[in-house]
């Protein structure tokens, strides 16, 4: 019996070829734009704007990675802004979501199911649907053209998935732990802080990472609409600085893109286990 | 005070900050959109109640076309995402050397700021100097440069493909997780009975994936319907409106032309469509979960 799982997963050579061909085709689609983008960043502009098209750069260089800082002196600021905004967003989301997820995971009360549903429904309006009233709201708060105009809506639309993920995680923590603490005379609040939070830390870490990356990846529409000051612009909006009056400086735009995503890429590489497990928690527990 | 009651109060205290936040930032603007849609709100100082005029204007304009286009765009984008996602997941689910690395390599389009991926596609779509047009010419599929974003029909598909590309990693990893949660002994039993690999995929994997497929299609449907960045950066809804979806049209009307009232009426229509999707989803999932007792 014990050899069966190994046997069942053994592939014949033509099956192996088929699988690798499938994976190759799939990953080509996923990675082609990055490969092309990287090669573009190595080509001088004159080579980019010439026909016929050549995939491999001729005497390519990393020149664009130097000149990009000269063409757009504020570029470092955009990266800082993206990091700063994502950090604040993540902190606020965690402060709101950790207690809420605990409440949803542990307490059943009248309307708790509907309330959870209402939170998940927030996802529906994450696009441009609420742009007009949000614009008016931000204006009446007096925060247009500040960091807050990007942070405040950003937080709202990252709450639903964070609650869902963390609730799933907390539901796996044995209830006996809370009850034991309660029998010992601990208050609800004490139980949450001293018993649940330490155990839930891995789950909270996953939520923090996915929230941070979600925020880093999606700062576009609010930043575009609610902020017109370059000193607060995050990376996705800041990259438009490489769109010249006549022509886009494509090699520098691509170089700047890679410099901008390098931190995210490093994060993925080291934390991909957390990312996948965060996703898995949501997938399996439906 | 009973234990029961103090527990409920405690639960509400925990929920209060999140509930308040979402009420102010999502629920209130939602109500505001409905109210605005019956006014002529704009940059002018005064705002008047205009009744159904904004809605009448919508249906007298080309908006019907925009609605149909949005549905076609969304339909193709979501279907292609699901097909490629399930394909990718079943490939990555095979026990072959290197699959941990392949899984990491699937993530970048999802993790990277959307705008960056879109810029890369924008350059690949470039007619004179871009990669796709260049390769098509090299291999004899096109006689001259193909400016994908300059013609309506190709621009439509170009935006769909880019949307698929951004959505595929999430679908793939989600489907992979769902596949890995299928009990291994089912496969072993089928294997013992002599079922081939393809037969096992069709008779075990696919049927058991149905709930996850529905959930993911639903999440994907909402995200795609709301998709803004891709079309905005690639075409701004052009050429001559042929990639204008409801969201893009709403943005043009409300933010571009500052016609807040008319924009709000469009947003209300979008909300209605999204709510219909959600209701349909809940009906299907509740039928599924009552259908079997697992």
Residue A177: predicted pLDDT:
83
Q: Average pLDDT of chain A?
A: 83
* Reported confidence tier of residue B293, pLDDT bands at 50, 70, 90: very low
Nearest in space to B74 (alpha carbons), one of B249, B272, B204, B223:
B223
* Of A23, A52, A268, Cβ closest to residue B104: A268
What band does A1 get if pLDDT is binned at 50, 70 and 90?
A: very low
SS percent in chain B: helix, strand, coil, step 5: 75, 0, 25
Q: Do A8 and B188 touch (CB under 8 A)?
A: yes
b/e burial code for range B210-220 (CB count within 10 A of at least 16 → b):
ebbbebbbbbb
CB of A141 less than 8 A from some CB of B:
no
Minimum-distance CB partner of A129 among B25, B215, B267? B267
Q: In chain A, where are the structural domains located?
A: 4-61, 68-284
Report the CATH number of the B55-291 domain.
1.10.3720.10
Q: Does B280 touch chain A (CB under 8 A)?
A: no
Domain parsing of chain B, residue ranges? 55-291
- pLDDT for residue A5: 53
Smallest CA–CA distance from B289 into chain A, residue? A286
Contact A109 B8 (CB under 8 A): yes
Q: How confident is the model at residue B68, as a pLDDT?
A: 92
Give the highest mean pLDDT range of A55-59, A210-214, B43-47, B282-286.
Answer: A210-214
Residue of B nearest to A16 (CA): B96
Per the CB < 8 A criterion, the answer to whether A138 and A154 are in contact is no
- In this predicted structure, the answer to whether residue A133 has a pLDDT above a threshold of 50 is yes
Judging contacts by C-beta atoms under 8 Å, the chain B residues touching residue A29 are 84, 165, 168
pLDDT for B144: 78
Rounded to an integer, the average pLDDT of B239-259 is 86
pLDDT at A72: 84
Closest CA to A286 of A174, A173, A164, A204: A164
Which range of A85-94, A156-165, B191-200, B247-256 scores highest in mean pLDDT? It is A85-94
Mean pLDDT estimate for chain B: 86
Does pLDDT of A52 surpass 60?
A: yes
Any idea which of A125-134, B1-10, B167-176 has the lowest mean pLDDT?
B1-10
Q: Which residue has the tokens 């993206």?
A: A82
The answer, for A225 touching chain B at a CB cutoff of 8 Å, is yes
- Whether chain A has a CB inside 8 Å of the CB on B288: the answer is no
Full-prediction pTM beyond 0.80? yes
B277: distance to nearest CA of chain A, Å?
A: 10
- Residue A9's pLDDT is 67
Q: Name the residue among B32, B111, B251 with its Cβ closest to that of A133.
A: B32
Residue A28, min C-alpha distance to chain B (Å): 10
pLDDT the model gives residue B43: 76
Q: Which residues of A touch B112 (CB under 8 A)?
A: 217, 261, 264-265
Report residue A22 as tokens: 């499938």
pLDDT of residue B3: 61
Q: Are residues B7 and A107, on separate chains, in Cβ contact within 8 Å?
A: yes
Say yes or no for a CB contact (<8 Å) between A22 and B91.
Answer: yes
For residue B120, list chain A residues with Cβ-Cβ distance below 8 A. 33-34, 36-37, 254, 257
Chain B: residue nearest A249 by CA?
A: B123
**What region, left, alpha or beta, does residue A185 occupy, with left being phi > 0 and alpha being psi -120 to 50 degrees?**
left
The answer to whether B84 faces chain A, any CB pair under 8 Å, is: yes
How confident is the model at residue A286, as a pLDDT? 36
A68-284: which CATH architecture? Orthogonal Bundle (1.10)
Q: Which residues of A224-248 are buried (b: 16+ CB within 10 A; e: fewer)?
A: bbbbeeeebbbbbbbbbbbeeeeeb
Chain B residues touching residue A282 (CB < 8 angstroms): 174
Are the C-beta atoms of B101 and A15 separated by less than 8 Å? no
Q: Chain A, 157-176: which have a CB under 8 Å from a chain B CB?
A: 157, 159, 163
When pLDDT is cut at 50, 70 and 90, the band that residue A30 belongs to is very high
Residue A3 has pLDDT above 80, yes or no: no
Higher pLDDT, B95 or A255: A255
């Amino acid at each position: 019996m014990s050899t069966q799982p190994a046997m069942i997963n053994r592939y014949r050579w033509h099956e192996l070829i088929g699988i690798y061909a499938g994976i190759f085709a799939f990953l080509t689609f996923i990675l082609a734009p990055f490969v092309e983008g990287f090669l573009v960043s190595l080509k001088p502009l004159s080579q980019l704007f010439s026909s016929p098209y050549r995939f491999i750069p001729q005497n390519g260089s990393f020149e664009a990675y130097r000149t990009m800082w000269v063409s757009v002196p504020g570029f470092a600021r955009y990266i800082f802004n993206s990091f700063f905004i994502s950090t604040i967003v993540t902190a606020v989301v965690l402060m709101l979501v950790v207690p809420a997820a605990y409440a949803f995971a542990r307490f059943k009360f009248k309307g708790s199911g509907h309330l959870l549903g209402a939170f998940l429904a927030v996802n529906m309006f994450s696009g441009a649907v609420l742009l007009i009233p949000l614009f008016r709201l931000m204006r009446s708060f007096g925060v247009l053209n500040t960091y807050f105009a990007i942070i405040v809506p950003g937080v709202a639309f990252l709450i639903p998935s964070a609650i869902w993920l963390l609730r799933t995680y907390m539901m796996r923590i044995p209830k006996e732990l809370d009850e034991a603490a309660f029998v010992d005379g601990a208050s609800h609040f004490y139980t949450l802080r001293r018993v649940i939070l330490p155990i839930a830390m891995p789950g909270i870490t996953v939520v923090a990472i996915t929230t941070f990356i979600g925020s880093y990846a999606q700062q576009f529409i609010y930043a575009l609409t609610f902020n017109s000051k370059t000193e607060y612009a995050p990376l996705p909006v800041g990259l438009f600085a490489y769109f010249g009056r006549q022509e886009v400086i494509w090699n520098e735009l691509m170089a700047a893109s890679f410099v901008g995503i390098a931190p995210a890429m490093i994060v993925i590489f080291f934390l991909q286990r957390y990312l996948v497990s965060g996703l898995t928690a949501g997938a399996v527990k439906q | 005070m009973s234990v029961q009651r103090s527990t409920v109060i405690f639960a509400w205290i925990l929920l209060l900050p999140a509930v308040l936040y979402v009420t102010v930032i999502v629920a209130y603007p939602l109500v505001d959109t409905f109210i605005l849609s019956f006014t002529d709100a704009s940059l002018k100082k005064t705002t008047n109640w205009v009744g159904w005029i904004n809605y009448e204007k919508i249906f007298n304009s080309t908006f019907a076309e925009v609605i149909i286009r949005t549905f076609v765009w969304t339909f193709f984008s979501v279907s292609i995402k699901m097909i490629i996602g399930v394909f990718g997941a079943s490939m990555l689910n095979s026990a072959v050397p290197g699959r941990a690395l392949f899984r990491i390599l699937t993530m970048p389009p999802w993790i990277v700021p959307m705008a960056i991926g879109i810029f890369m596609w924008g350059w690949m779509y470039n007619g004179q100097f871009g990669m796709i047009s260049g390769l098509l010419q090299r291999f004899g599929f096109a006689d001259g440069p193909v400016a994908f974003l300059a013609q309506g029909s190709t621009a439509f598909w170009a935006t769909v493909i880019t949307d698929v590309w951004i959505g595929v990693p999430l679908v793939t990893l989600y489907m992979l997780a769902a596949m890995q949660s299928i009990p291994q002994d089912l496969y072993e039993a089928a294997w013992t009975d002599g079922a081939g690999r393809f037969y096992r995929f069709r008779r075990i994997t696919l049927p058991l994936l149905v709930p996850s497929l529905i959930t993911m299609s639903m999440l994907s449907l909402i995200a795609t319907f709301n998709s803004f960045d891709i079309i905005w950066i690639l075409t701004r809804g052009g050429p001559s409106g042929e990639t204008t979806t409801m969201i893009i049209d709403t943005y043009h009307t409300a933010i571009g032309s500052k016609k807040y009232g008319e924009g709000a009426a469009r947003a209300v229509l979008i909300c209605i469509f999204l709510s219909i999707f959600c209701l349909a989803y809940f009906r299907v999932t509740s039928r599924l979960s009552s259908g079997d007792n697992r």
